[in-house]
Amino acid sequence: MAISTAEIVKAVVNPAISIIRRTRTISAACSGVGSGTAVSVMQVSSQNHSGRLEITVAGDEGSVRLDRVLAARHPDLSRSRLKGLILAGAVSVGIAAIRDPAYHVARGDTITIDLPEPAPAEPEGEDIALDIVHEDDDIIVIDKPKGLVVHPAAGHLTGTLVNALIAHCGASLSGIGGVRRPGIVHRLDKDTTGLMVVAKNDRAHQSLTGQFADHGRNGPMERGYLAFVWGVPSRQRGTIEAPIDRHPHAREKMAVRESGREAVTHWEVKETFAGRDSKPVASLLACRLETGRTHQIRVHLAHVGHPLMGDSVYGPHFKTKASHLGPESQAALAGLARQALHAYLLVLEHPKTGDILRWESPLPGDLLHLKMKLEAAL
């Protein structure tokens, strides 16, 4: 039962992007247009989000609290960032600095915000090659290779995606929470390949965080993965609903546990592969996440008896299955040296324009090689 790679995913030419224009209605009250609100912006850098902002309170912001009025007028600054600015004395009403986020303002008050230059990122930038699929002032989408850790942590303080993005983006990072750093809103495991989006400013970070939290329930967000698994499911498609929590004994692992958080994975069989005895031995599944738990696909598929090929953490007891493969397939699997998982699809709403953006990534070379050998049953 073989299908071509092109039938599974469409090849991507960098930058590969599909845009669906969607009309947005912006209320006059929110934008200030036609509301009688006087809003002036002076000495502000659109790239660096530094300088001075001056706002005249219109009285129609929906609250009299200082922090909420500022959030209504400047949704591009996160609430936590605004609170930090207020507590730091960077916000004045009239000529007096106000350090109370709950301070009540009145119609006609002039609020001044002094935005400092974003602080340098704590991780240092490193010149690491990136496969950039799309980049603009708000977001950057990359096709992550295997072996690249996303964020600095114990054991991986350098050589990460964050280090690479700090160096690549430079001054175009306007700051997340006042720090010049990329906004990581989702992650891929070190040895999982595929598409990732990263925010370059507070506004984009807020939007993407909300979209990933919603997981496409009420919006366009969609994340698709291709997974090579052991065995063949008894049905063509299905859904795994099983809560995930830390493993009770191996703390570096996750596990299906009643105490865990909700986790939902949808899957569909795209292709099946026979072993050298002509009996089905493995499958290619397309998976879609409805939640985003750590190691979710790996844990869920192992839980239902179809662990990822090459997954030494969640499927080591399936190593004997490799003996059913032909010698060339066994060699391709051994050469993989990682879990056979690729994030091939990413759909989201652009944080600024509202456009629906779609990217697809073809299988990387090592997984394509494995697929070819499995199809040939060699």
Per-residue pLDDT of the chain (378 residues; tens, 9 = 90+): 444 444 444 333 333 444 443 333 223 233 333 333 333 333 333 334 557 888 888 888 888 899 988 888 887 777 888 888 888 888 988 888 888 989 999 988 999 888 877 655 567 889 999 999 999 999 999 999 999 998 777 667 788 998 999 889 887 776 665 566 788 889 899 999 999 999 998 889 889 999 998 888 888 999 999 999 999 999 999 999 999 999 988 878 999 999 999 999 999 999 999 998 899 999 999 999 999 899 999 999 999 999 999 999 998 888 788 899 999 999 999 999 999 999 999 999 999 999 999 999 999 999 999 999 999 986
pLDDT score at 83: 87
Rounded distance, CA 257 to CA 293, Å? 13
pLDDT score at 228: 98
Closest CA to 225 of 260, 195, 248: 195
Q: What single-letter amino acid sits at 138?
A: D
Rounded distance, CA 378 to CA 326, Å? 5
Q: Structure pTM?
A: 0.70
- CB contact at 8 A, 359 and 133: yes
- CB contact at 8 A, 114 and 90: yes
Q: How far is CA 72 from the centre of its chain?
A: 26
Q: Can you point out the beta strands (E) in 35-74?
A: 39-42, 51-56
CA quadruple 187, 158, 341, 351: dihedral, nearest 10: 30
Residues annotated as catalytic are: 189
Closest CA to 330 of 290, 293, 280, 275: 275
Q: What single-letter amino acid sits at 20?
A: I
pLDDT score at 252: 82
DSSP characters for 187-203?
Answer: ---TT-EEEEEEESBHH
Strand partners, 32: none
Q: How many CB atoms lie within 10 A of CB 123?
A: 18
State the maximum Cα–Cα separation within the chain, in Å, rounded to a whole number: 83
Per the omega criterion (within 30 degrees of 0), is the bond before 118 cis?
no
User: Running DSSP on this structure, what letter comes out for residue 261?
Assistant: B
Q: What single-letter amino acid sits at 160?
A: T
